[in-house]
Amino acid sequence: MGTQDFPLFLSRESREVLLEVRVLAGEELAPIAGAGPAGRVNRPLLEALGAHGVLQRIFPADLGGQVSGEVSAVVLCLLREGLAGGSTAAETAFALQGLGSYPIIQAGSDEVRRRWIPAVARGEAVAAFALTEPDAGSDAASLSLVAERVDGGYRLSGAKKWISNAPDADIYSVFGRTTEGAGSRGVTAFALPRETKGVGGESLDLLAPHAIGTLELDGAFVPDDHVLGEVDGGFAVAMRTLDLFRPSVGAFAVGMSQAALDVTIEHAGARESFGKALREFQAVSQQLAEMAVRTKAARLLVYEAAAAYDAGERVTRAAAMAKLYATEAAQAVVDMAIQIHGARALERGHLLEHLYRDVRATRIYEGTSEIQREIITRELYR
């Protein structure tokens, strides 16, 4: 952790939060994560995140959290980077709780918010963000899950795929089509409890075994008071949530970059080949420098975007740049770290083997790298 290179505008308290959480993740949370079921929700891990007060740092004080007013994107990034540096599983569990619950926090009725959010903040209930469909990923405006108006509410029918915490989540923020042919203006958000009749799904076996699955809805009834925000206004609910969380995907990537950099600095200084330390070989020293520069640049972009969000500025371009660069940089940094370590880094269970699998998905979810480039270019011409 001695190579951690903080932006100058981060306070000493902020730096201490990040380092504190990284130690907590490595020493306390990683063993719980390792003992959990692969590819399914790890409830003991969520409970530990609640017991240590980590989850509460991004939830409102009146709903069981510690936040007065709006959540800070900088704090969210600090927590995600710190957790990722010690346990990517703990980071993912933490982030998915926030992502799944924020549509309810920002747009749910008081009754629904109070029913679910305190339990989510304690790690006792599991939340999920259900936007993506088998044929609607990056083009979220083309959602086809049907939300049919019936007496007293809506019936949801259709499929979601690659959904966080599915099929084990207790409460889903689901986005369905209420008006045909209206694109993004015909989508509505709903709070859907798992116990609702007609809710099903299965887990997916991915490269990195996280809690990701499908959500199958067969006429699942959602009452009117479980609509999140305005009818046909669900796309805005989704985008407000993603605006908050997109920069922090970059923070997750930075945490992985930092972990890879730290372990490689240690290895290259201790490992000898042909009578000298690896770090003394020009090829290796060049890679170490490149890893450090990319990690630093990614961190600066991430925290600049987060600070802009906290200042109430428009962050579309900054968030896209942060997410794009940080995730692409992390992929490259982890790859270089593996090259310096050699075959040992490919052994199952090695930190870098684990990071190599985990880092790949960050360039896809919450907007692919290609979509981020489209957003950036569009913003340049605004």
* Tens-place pLDDT, residues 250-309: 999 999 999 999 999 999 999 988 989 899 899 999 999 999 999 999 999 999 999 999
Residue 163 has pLDDT above 50, yes or no: yes
Task: Please report the pLDDT score of residue 365 as a whole number.
Answer: 87
Q: Tokens in use for 337?
A: 């770290």
Structural domains of the chain, count: 3
Q: Tokens in use for 285?
A: 């020293």
H-type alpha helices, the chain: 12-24, 30-34, 43-51, 73-86, 88-107, 110-121, 234-270, 282-310, 316-341, 351-360, 369-380
Whether 105 is covered by a domain: the verdict is yes
Whether 192 is covered by a domain: the verdict is yes
Same domain, 326 and 246: yes
Same domain, 258 and 358: yes
Whether 320 is covered by a domain: the verdict is yes
**3-state SS, residue 177:** strand
Contact 3, 257 (CB under 8 A): no
Residue 294: domain span: 239-380
Residue 1 has pLDDT above 60, yes or no: no
Same domain, 55 and 171: no
Same domain, 139 and 271: no
Residues with catalytic roles: 366
Same domain, 225 and 255: no
Same domain, 277 and 209: no
Task: Tell me the backbone φ, ψ of residue 196, rounded to 5 degrees.
Answer: -65, 135
* Boundary-marking domain end, from 126, 151, 172: 126
Axis crossing angle, helix 43-51 with helix 88-107, rounded to the nearest 10 = 70
Number of Cβ atoms within 10 Å of the Cβ of 6: 17
Number of Cβ atoms within 10 Å of the Cβ of 152: 10
Whether 7 is covered by a domain: the verdict is no
pLDDT per residue as tens digits for the range 50-108: 999 999 999 999 999 999 988 899 999 999 999 999 999 999 999 999 999 999 999 99
d(CA 18, CA 40): 27
d(CA 64, CA 68): 11
Same domain, 102 and 190: no
Average pLDDT over residues 344-373: 93
Contact 235, 184 (CB under 8 A): yes
pTM of the model: 0.93
Residue 140 has pLDDT above 80, yes or no: no
